[in-house]
Structures are given as structure tokens and as C-alpha cells.
Chain A
Amino acid sequence: MEVAEVTTFLAGTTPFDQLDHAQLASLAGNISVYYCQNGETVQLSAERLMIVRTGIFALYSDQQTLLTKLEEGDFYGYQLLLTGLSDNDKLVCEEDGLVYWLSADAFHQLRYQYKNIDIFFQRLFSRRLHQYKAQQQNSRFTLKISDIVQARKIAISGEHSVQQAAALMTEKRVSSLLVEQHERLVGIITDRDLRSRVLAADLPAQTAVKQVMTAKPHTIDKHAYLFEAVQLMSRHNVHHLPVLDKQQSYSMITATDIIRSQQDHPVYLIGEIHRQTSVDGLEHCASQVSSLALTLGKQQVPAHEAGHIITTITDALTQRLITLAQLELGPPPCVFSWLAFGSQGRMDQSLNADQDNALLLEKEPVGEVAAYFAALADFVCQGLARCGIILCPGNIMASNSALRLSLKGWSGQFAKWVTSPTPEALLKSSIFFDLRVIEGSKGLFNALQQDILARTTDNALFLYHLAQTALQRTAPLSFLRNFILEHDGKQKKGLDLKKRGISLITDIVRVYALSAGISEINTRQRLVQLANKGIMDSKDTQNLSDAFDVLAQLRWDKHQHDLIQGHDVSNLLDPNVLSGLQRHQLKDSLTVINDAQSSLKHRFCRDL
């Protein structure tokens, strides 16, 4: 006899949501319901699994540090049930709530019956983020044969003559044929075979196909991965592979098919960009970025690699625009460096990034120098805007005369930020500290970067203020029931993955990097350097890097989804669309940010 309130709740809770009604009712029959009061320590036992129905429960390690908070739909006690080993964690009720206790017998039976439920709890058990990630990577796969080859069986029997084979190949415009005997694949014949085994061997046109074909060819299943076809071809030095579907001939895949399938590969696009002679042409190239993004998504390219690829394309567009500008304006009057800040600087650009760039000049921007670079910057910024990289709303662009400075000018500007930091100024200027040279003189750029790092390294006052800035926003792991949702201009609700997630990590890592004079700009590389140099604990950098990957992946997936739906690409994520596992990952990532913020505060905001 079921209590509807209980079965309804279970039906909406991962991983039980895959059970049917009768299974849920029988599950509920193994549950006891307990009311837990604020301040009460939950008595855990090896006999049962805890399911949080309502209320909030705080989990503390044996060192009394807060590990996480459990809310509606969360579980506890699975570690003891799965391993028989007790950790010394302590679970304290923070807000009155109801707990369902599921008997150990029922729990084990459920795991035994449903592989997915077993996997769910095993994954929860490996709570560490990079273990989540390992699971994620296992599921990544690249394109399959069936994604690029259509059912197109062009076959001939072995009894036909090579002349007939050649006629069929010509008619069908193919370079090879499947050879079948009684509906079974027995070999293949290619135009190369006709040349080397027939003409060169001086055989007559009436020679039977079966005499000159390649018998028992290597084949590949239509469900195999594309890279398997590539491997087969290069291992056996062949260019044609019959594709089978359930052991029956289905089609043929050729080396050319494979090359053609890779044509929206970024390498091709970047090559195209550098061949363009007009802004119109560049605009056309840039219009392919979203289809490239979809291909990358389909190939399960991880988010950080995709960010790198997209940045590389923006770099190529910028470089080409600078070249085109010089063709129009003539050679520059002095050496310069085109700088990128923010996400382009860090090489983790997303599809909706805006422009953040500037010019570093060998000479003071006066007279002819000023006029030339004003025109060049205008050309490039407007060109980038036409290529879909929108003008910076904060006017952080080379087309702004305040951002076209000599080395002395920039050095003075950074000196002002570093020596008399104010929170307001730093909030606006922190992205300037993530800078990279895109085009022009590397030497000029290096001089500026060394100058900046010399100012920031071990500069307690500056680091104090920069850390304060990094702490202004917190990760919305609400101590309340759900994620805090934000509204964008269009009144869509969601969690801003950039503002309340990715940027927080970028900000934290920047403080450490500048404190230690690390010249890396990319957040993941900064973390590697910080761990190598012993500036941060390697476990903490690993956690931050994992959290960064999880958030970047969620954003990348969200952008893909927006593209497919034909929406504007947005960083607002509705947490309700997440799977149970993703929700746990997101919560864990936000917890990592909270922890990292307190460490940051402890490290840089203590003595002042």
C-alpha cells in the first residue's frame, strides 16, 4: 500500500526516476520516515541509506571542516554500504527536515537489479571531481563511420569482365567497386587495380573481375569510429574499405571521404582565413565558426580544447585584419604589439566573447604615429565586429585612444593600478593583467610583461586589493535550498556560469599567479605552474582545475545547445535541466570555489 507523497518524490529523484510505478511502490515499502531537528546529529548506520526529503544537513570531516551540505534529493551513507568502511564524517541537521531511511537489503537489491543505479552510487562514492571527470572522458567518442558515409552499395559480380567494371565505375563516378558473389562480399576492385593489374600486365578487357580483384579485403563496420578506419587504412596501406552493416555490404569509405569529413576542421578554417584578401572574405570564414563549434561538439572535444581552438581562430582573424589594414594604410611608422586581454588573452574564449584588445607602441602616440594606429585599430576592431566578435561594451579596445600607448605609457598605467589600487579601479582593470601578444613585436610585449610582473610580485598591498576584488562575488552554492538564480535582460532565469563560476576561478588564480611572478596567462597553465612552484597545494590546484573544467564544459554544452536551438548563445544555465550527476558535479565545483576563496582571503587579506 503506497503513500503517494513518498512515491511521487522518489519518482522525481535521480536515480530512482528510471523505475516504474510498481518498482517505486515496492521501494517505498522498504523506507522508514524520520523527522530530524536543527542541531541534531544524524545517527548513521551500516543498515541503511539516508535519502534527504526536506531540510538541510551539513557534513563535517573529522577535522570539523565543512565538506558539503545535503539537501532535498541528496544521499548519505552509501560509502558505508558500498565499502563497509566508515569515514569519520559527521552529519548535522541545520534546518528541520524529513529523512527517508532505505534498508540496506533493499539498497543492495536495487543495485543488483539496476546497473544504472549501481553506477550512480559508485560515482557518488568517488566524490572527488577528477574521478567524475574520468567517467566523463570515458564516454567521449569521436565521429562514427555512419556519420560520414551513406548507404551506397555499388557492387559487381566476380564473373563480370574488367571492362564492365570500368564502365560501371565511370557511370557511377566512383573509384572502386564491391565484388559480391551470392550476396556476399568477396573482394574489391579499384581503378588502381585496373591500371596496375590489367593494363600494365597486358591482360585483355574480357578478364574476369575475380582474377584481378583484391580478395578478402579489410572491412569496417558502419558503427565503428572514424579513427579506426584511418588506422586500418594506414596500417595496411589501403585507400578503400568496404563498410558492412550486420555483415552485409553497406557502402565503401575512401581516404578522400575521410579528408572531406575533416574540412570544417579548424586547421582548414585557419588556412582559409590567411588566404582572404578582403574583410568580406573574412566575414564569410567567420560565419563558419558556429558550424565548426557544432562539429567540435559532435566530436566531443573537451571544452578547454574548444576554447583554445576558438581563440586560435580569433587570433587568425585579428592577424589577417592587421595585414589587410597595412595593405590599405601602408607600412606602420614604428614597431607595435597588438595585445589581447581577458578570455582571448587567456586562450579560453567562448562563442559569445566580446573584444578586449589594445595596442602597445614603440613610439609615443603623437602626430603621424597617432593617426596611423588610430586608423589601423579602427579597421581591425570594426573588422572583428563584422566577423561576429562584438565590440566591447566597456570600450576596452584598441580603437579607444586611451588604450594605444607606448611602453612608457602602459608601464605608467599599470604602475597606477598596482601602487594605488582601489577596489573600483581593480574591478575594471583586472582583465588587463591577463594579456597576450597576438601580432607584432614579441620583444616589446615581453618588456611590458616583465615590468608588470616585477611590480606585482610579492606586492602585499596590491595583492590584498586584488584578492578583495576576487572575493566580491561568491559562488551561488546557496546555504538555502537551491541555486540562486539570476535574471538577464530577457528575464530568463538561470545560473550565470561565467559570472558566478568560471570568472571566480579566473580571478582567484590570477591573484596567485601575479603574486608569484608567473608569466603564464591561461588559467589551467597558471594552475600547473602554481603547483610546480609550490605556491599552491597541488591538491587544491587539481580541484580548481577540475572545477574549472566542469564549469567550462557546462557552458560549452549550453552554448552548443543554444546554437542547435537557434537561440542567442547565453551563459545562463537553468539548473533544472541538469542530470542528477551534473547537479552534483556543479555543486561540488561551486564548493571548491568557496573553499578556494576562503584560502585566498586567508593568504592575502590577513595582515592589513
Chain B
Amino acid sequence: MLAWLSNKTAPLSHIVQTFNQTALPAGGVRAADCPFLVIDLELTGLNAKQDHIVSLGWLPVRQHEIVLAEARHYLVHSPVSVGQSAVFHGLHDRDFDKALDLAEVLTELLQQYAGYIFVAHHCQLDCRFLEVASQRIFGKAAKFSFIDTLNIELYRLQKQGIVMKKDALRLPQCLSRHKLPQSNQHHALADAYSCALLLLSQLKHSHADITLADLQLQSR
């Protein structure tokens, strides 16, 4: 599986290249028929250039179903101490014995989920960190097609003319609005699961034949 380790002559960038070249579903496809990968990252800070990825969690959604068999949660070696961010995600340096290199994790992600529409809650940050990481590791930035459950929620609420309170778009508030079970926050897989539940609910409460293009429009 980790062919890139032994085959050093092949440019690492081919992993990113294959990923970028894999066709995504066309905009006219029904959103229900698209493969989604819901992902969440825990970070040491907010600056993609300076800060690091601490852990990743993801699970795919296909045909309206979250496939738990493919749920993944990885801690990654960080070049610096986890430090202050431990306050948020509860991970400490001592937890990283079982951690993998980010290169391994990203390889699995890019090889397994090419052609998937990526999903996150407030996705810009996750997207930016993944791009920077792939640039650093493979010498080429992966191009992700993300949709954002936060923006979809914002669109829905505005359309219903609902006055939003502060924090109304945070993940826990969205979960309770959709009457979905709450999870332990700031755990990458738990948050990815919550985000996936929110996506399922948002899809079901949209027009039954909503296309991917419509969804991308709402998510902007």
C-alpha cells in the first residue's frame, strides 16, 4: 500500500496528480448519488503556514448512508509540541506514541477518496491545512472540492427568515436544531460524524432531486 516509501524514484507528486485528475461528479448529478467524504481536523492553531495538524477523522457518506466500516481516526506526529492547543482537543504529547506520519495518512486519504466531494463544517480552515500539507509533503497542492455544512445551514436559516442568535451556526447548535445526537466535541472523528449527520439531515430537508451544483451554490 505504501508504495511511495520503497519506490523513491517515482515522484511523490504523482499521488497528488492522480487525485487531482480523478473526475468528480458532474454538477447536474443528484446530490444523493454523489460520494461524500466528511472530514475534520484538529489543529495546533489557525495559521496553515505556521500551525500543524494534530489529528484527522473522516467517514464516507454514500447513498445517504454513513459507512462506519470506513471511519478513520489518526493522530499524526507533529513537528512541534501540541502545547496550548491541548486545551481544546484534549490530546497531549504523551498520546502520540501510536501516531503516524502525516505523509502516510495523507497518502491513504488521497488514494482512497479521489473523486469524492469533501465535506466539513466551516471548511476553509480544513481545506487550507490539507492543501498546505500536501504541498509540503508531495511537492504539489491537492485540489479539494469541498462543501460546507455551516454555509448550507446559513442558507437554510436565511431562506426560512429565522433570526439567528450568536453561535447559532456552531456544530452543537446545528445538531440540536436538527434533533441529532450530540457528541464529544473536539475529537476529529466524533466531529466528522456529527458533521455527517448534519449533512444527511440537510440533504433530506432539501428538494429530493437537489443536484450537486445546487448544493455547492448553497454552500458558498
Nearest-CB residue, chain B, relative to A5: B183
A98 neighbours in B (Cβ, 8 Å): 180-181, 197
Nearest-CB residue, chain A, relative to B198: A35
Does B190 lie within 8 Å of A33, measured CB to CB?
no
Does B71 lie within 8 Å of A4, measured CB to CB?
no
From B1-9, B60-68, B135-143, B211-219, the one touching the partner chain is B60-68
Q: Beyond A1-B189, A4-B190, A96-B179, is A33–B66 a contact (Cβ under 8 Å)?
A: yes
Identify whether the interface residues of B are mostly helix, strand, loop, or mixed.
Answer: mixed
Least Cβ–Cβ distance between A6 and chain B, in angstroms: 7
Nearest-CB residue, chain B, relative to A95: B179
B92 within 8 A of A: no
A53 neighbours in B (Cβ, 8 Å): 181
Q: Report Cα–Cα, A28/B69, bound state, in Å.
A: 8
Q: Report Cα–Cα, A34/B61, bound state, in Å.
A: 10
- The A-B contact count (CB < 8 A) is 70
A366 within 8 A of B: no
Restricting to B59-86, which residues have a CB under 8 Å from any CB of A? 59, 64-69, 71-73
Least Cβ–Cβ distance between A32 and chain B, in angstroms: 4
Does A1 lie within 8 Å of B187, measured CB to CB?
no
Does A3 lie within 8 Å of B179, measured CB to CB?
no
Most buried by B among A4, A28, A101: A4
B36 within 8 A of A: no
A28 neighbours in B (Cβ, 8 Å): 68
B179 neighbours in A (Cβ, 8 Å): 54, 96
A29 within 8 A of B: yes
B183 neighbours in A (Cβ, 8 Å): 3-5
Least Cβ–Cβ distance between B33 and chain A, in angstroms: 15
Does A32 lie within 8 Å of B67, measured CB to CB?
yes
Does B181 lie within 8 Å of A5, measured CB to CB?
yes
Does B200 lie within 8 Å of A35, measured CB to CB?
yes
Q: Beyond A5-B193, A35-B200, A35-B204, is A29–B69 a contact (Cβ under 8 Å)?
A: yes
A47 within 8 A of B: no
A37 within 8 A of B: yes
B57 neighbours in A (Cβ, 8 Å): 1
| Interface residues as binary, B163-198 with A (CB distance below 8 Å gives 1, 0 otherwise) | 000000000000000011111100101100110110
Given contacts A33-B197, A35-B201, 15 further A-B contacts (CB under 8 A): A1-B57, A1-B73, A3-B68, A4-B183, A5-B184, A6-B68, A29-B68, A33-B200, A34-B64, A34-B65, A35-B200, A35-B203, A37-B205, A53-B181, A54-B181
Can you list 7 A-B pairs with a CB-CB distance of less than 8 A? A3-B71, A6-B193, A9-B181, A29-B68, A29-B71, A32-B66, A96-B204
Residues of B near any A CB (own CB < 8 A): 57, 59, 64-69, 71-73, 179-184, 187, 189-190, 193-194, 196-197, 200-201, 203-205
The 3 closest A-B pairs by CB, nearest first: A35-B200, A33-B66, A32-B65
